[in-house]
Amino acid sequence: MVPATQGLLGRILRANDDFARRFGQNTAEVDAFIHAASQLTPWQWRQVLTARRVVSSVTKENLGQATESLQSIQATMHSTEAGVSEPMLKAAEALFEALDKRSDDKVAIAWQALSALVMRQKHSPLKFAAHYAPFITLIPVSGFDALDPATMRFLTAVQRLTREKCEVLARRWRLDADASRALLQEVAKSGYLKAEEAAALVALRTVPSQLTGDQGWAAVKTVVHGGRVVGARVALSKEQVAELWAPLEPAIPLATIEEPVAKPVRSRVRAAVARATTAITKPPGPRATAAAAAAATATPRKTAPPRAAAQYGPNSLEVATFIKGVVELTPIQWLRVLDRRKLVASVTRHDGGEPAGVVRSLLAAIKGTKDLDTFSRCRAFAAVERAGGAVAAKAELTYEESMQGYGAFGEIVQIDYVDVDGFAQLVAALNTGDWVKVAASIPAVNQDVVAPLVNAGASLYEFLERKSDDEAVAAWEAASALVRRQQLAPIKFAASYAPFASAIPVTNPRTLGAPVLRYISAIGRLTANQCALLAKPWQMADDLSSVLSKAVADGGSRTAEEAAALVAVVTVPMRVSGSEGWAAAKTATFGGRVIGSRARLSLEQLEVLWQPIQTAIPLASLGGVGKSRR
């Protein structure tokens, strides 16, 4: 019998293993970097180039050196000499193919970062950071999600360094020989310290904004030394750590980095018992006695039991129906839902809706806070929602705006080192104590608004965990839109719920009059020419606008407007897309508002308000509208 290693299975296994190691030890990271670099926008490339200039102000490396390295690797690729390792050559080929249309300076910077990533375990942390720092905020490296709390506190303190503290760190210093020897032995034993590498990356993005030149480089090296001490402190004595930390103590006190010492359990129990004993044995005051006597002599009154709040808010029945229906959808129905979602996105210009990582983080927050009270769950949910939005939009926000939204999560992992998908993983890893701190960071929320969303998510998260990202995002957007139905404009509600409108209807046709039903049917039969007519710009006089506002003030036309919007955002994209399709959909939705309030308008007012729709859908074709009363 032929051994497995010599047969087809063995060749397949060897091929898979070779492919998984084609770029060396860090193949997965290198592959992810090449893909992410090819997706960077021009604005993000400007960020990288700016960060490269900032880093070079202390490292004194110019772009010419990176260009020379790039030219040498390109020459090696076209020659027969084996001066470069095979993983490096393969990584270079993949990078040059991915960045074929980029300028030379961008390719040179990307090559410098990629070569450092290939040789990550062989480079010193400072050398790796000097080459990779320009990309660290846009393409984070692995390892930052596994740093211990003391290291994260140290990195946070580094990011808050002022010019005066940087000048203190730039001073010359010398260590005790014994302590230095113990540190070097521990570094040699471990071989690679994540804390040291992280400190180097953060220092090169922070210190140059305060100090440049030789002073800045000296301060950076001191910070990197601090990262080394933090990473190796477990194997060192307290005296050795204090001695090694001396160069950083004036700028970053060691006490701010170490774990806070918890109060002993016995002391906490004694204090709690003492407080309880005082509360029990303390005699009641005169006011309390009088109040108790009055309550005893008063005649008891019959009171109705408090009415329980609806689980999912004002639309509890519809939300419950949606949750029951979405779980029972067949694979064919899910395909239709996703197709309709793409159609809606082609006119709303909201591709993909919320990022999947934000939705996953919200569901993880709902799951992780199940043991907390409702108010704390609502506050934690609001904190995650705000932080997820900040992470998703950090490329468009300033650092201060991002940190303001990121909130309490900045004490766990810095926003520069986490992306949307990584944030979802971070949220899923939090424990109950972390959730209490996150909830406490939000001062107050409207529980009546947030609690229905939390309850809906609690009913859906087990089901959505098994669905794909696109399906989970579509279902969550529809559920949240249904919960907040009364707070959303009809067309905004339709844009989120339309993919499910045919599978799980939320509008009862019996509540709509015959003219409204005829109008909705006409929207479903629109042609491309009719959509082009509806997309034409139009204006409404102020007096007519006020008349229509009064007619719809009681909300009687909302059902008709929603029904028209649900049909329009799916039908119109089949004919026209982009801004023209969005304009046509909004005009069709406006028609639903007018026809829904026909009983409160005169015939003249109705005819004038119908002018934007008249050329595509004549008013006379709806029948019975002429009987409108004043």
- Residue 463 tokens, joined: 């089901």
The listed range with the strongest mean pLDDT (4-18, 245-259, 317-331) is 317-331
Within 13 Å, how many C-alpha atoms sit on residue 275's CB side?
5
DSSP state of 619: G
CA distance 129 to 116: 8
Crossing angle for the helix pair 104-118 and 125-132, to the nearest 10 degrees: 150
The pLDDT, as a whole number, for residue 145 is 58
- The string of DSSP letters for 177-204 reads HHHHHHHHHHHHHH---HHHHHHHHHHH
pLDDT-derived band at 16 (thresholds 50, 70, 90) equals low
Q: Please tell me the predicted confidence (pLDDT) of residue 628.
A: 44
CA R_g for the chain: 32
Dist. CA 158–CA 198, nearest whole Å: 11
Task: Answer whether 606's CB lies under 8 Å from 619's CB.
Answer: yes
In this predicted structure, what is the pLDDT of residue 20?
56
Residue type for position 78? H
pLDDT digits (tens, 9 = 90+) for 380-396: 898 888 888 888 887 77
End-to-end CA distance of the chain: 94
Task: Provide the 10 A C-beta neighbour count for residue 511.
Answer: 10
Amino acid at 570: V
Minimal CA–CA distance to 338: which of 322, 359, 349, 353?
Answer: 353
CB 609 within 8 A of CB 601: yes
Per-residue pLDDT at 19 exceeds 60: no
Please indicate whether residue 301 or residue 42 has the higher confidence score (pLDDT).
Answer: 42
Q: What sign does the CA torsion over 4, 9, 15, 21 have?
A: negative
- 397 or 126: which leads in pLDDT: 126
- Tell me which residue has tokens 């995650």: 384
**Torsion (CA) 251, 253, 259, 264 in degrees, nearest 10:** -150
Contact 343, 406 (CB under 8 A): no
Looking at the chain, the whole-number percentage of residues with pLDDT higher than 70 is 81
* Residue entry with tokens 């934000």: 358
Report pLDDT digits (tens) over 522-545. Answer: 998 999 999 999 999 988 888 888
Check pLDDT > 70 for residue 294.
Answer: no
Q: Give the rounded percent of residues in the chain with a pLDDT score beyond 90.
A: 8
Lowest mean pLDDT among 35-44, 366-375, 406-415, 572-581: 406-415
pLDDT of residue 239: 86
Q: What is the pLDDT of residue 222?
A: 92
SS3 of residue 602 by DSSP: coil
Instruction: Dump pLDDT digits (tens) for 307-349.
Output: 555 788 888 888 999 999 998 988 888 888 988 888 888 888 6
DSSP 206-261: HGGGT--HHHHHHHHHHHHHHHHHHHHGGGS-HHHHHHHHTTTTTTS-GGGTSPPP
Closest C-alpha among 475, 47, 25, 414 to residue 202? 414
pLDDT in tens, 194-229: 788 888 888 888 888 888 888 889 999 999 998 888
Cα torsion angle, 163, 165, 168, 173, sign: negative
Contact in structure between 336 and 449 (CB atoms under 8 Å): no
pLDDT digits (tens, 9 = 90+) for 452-482: 989 998 998 889 888 888 899 999 999 999 9
**Residue 76 identity (one-letter amino acid):** T
Residue 587: pLDDT band (50, 70, 90) is very high
pLDDT > 50? residue 1: no
Q: Evaluate whether 354 touches 478 at the Cβ level (below 8 Å).
A: no
CA 481 – CA 500 distance, rounded (Å): 12
Q: Kindly give, in sequence order, each residue whose CB lies less than 8 Å from that of residue 465, ignoring residues fewer than 6 positions away.
A: 363
92-125 residue pLDDT tens? 888 888 888 788 888 888 888 888 888 887 788 8
Confidence of residue 69 (pLDDT cuts 50, 70, 90): low
Position 30 pLDDT exceeds 60:
yes
| 154/206 Cα distance (integer angstroms) | 13
What's the mean per-residue pLDDT of the chain? 80
Q: What is the pLDDT of residues 427-437, one digit of tens each?
A: 888 888 888 88
Choose the weakest-confidence range: 30-34, 299-303, 549-553: 299-303
In a 13 Å sphere around the CA of 269, the CA atoms on its Cβ side amount to 3
d(CA 320, CA 322): 5
Res 475: pLDDT: 92
Domain residue ranges in the chain: 8-135, 145-256, 316-494, 509-627
Cα distances from 560 to residues 315, 584, 589, in angstroms, run: 17, 17, 9
Residue type, 458: A
- Write out the two tokens for 358: 């934000």
The confidence score (pLDDT) of residue 630 equals 41
Provide mean pLDDT across the span 234-255: 87
Q: Find how far residue 2's CA is from the centre of its chain.
A: 52
Name residue, tokens 């019959």: 302
CA distance 307 to 315: 16
Give pLDDT, residue 431.
Answer: 82
For range 484-497, the mean pLDDT? 89
Average pLDDT of span 348-366: 78
Residue type at 5 in one-letter notation: T
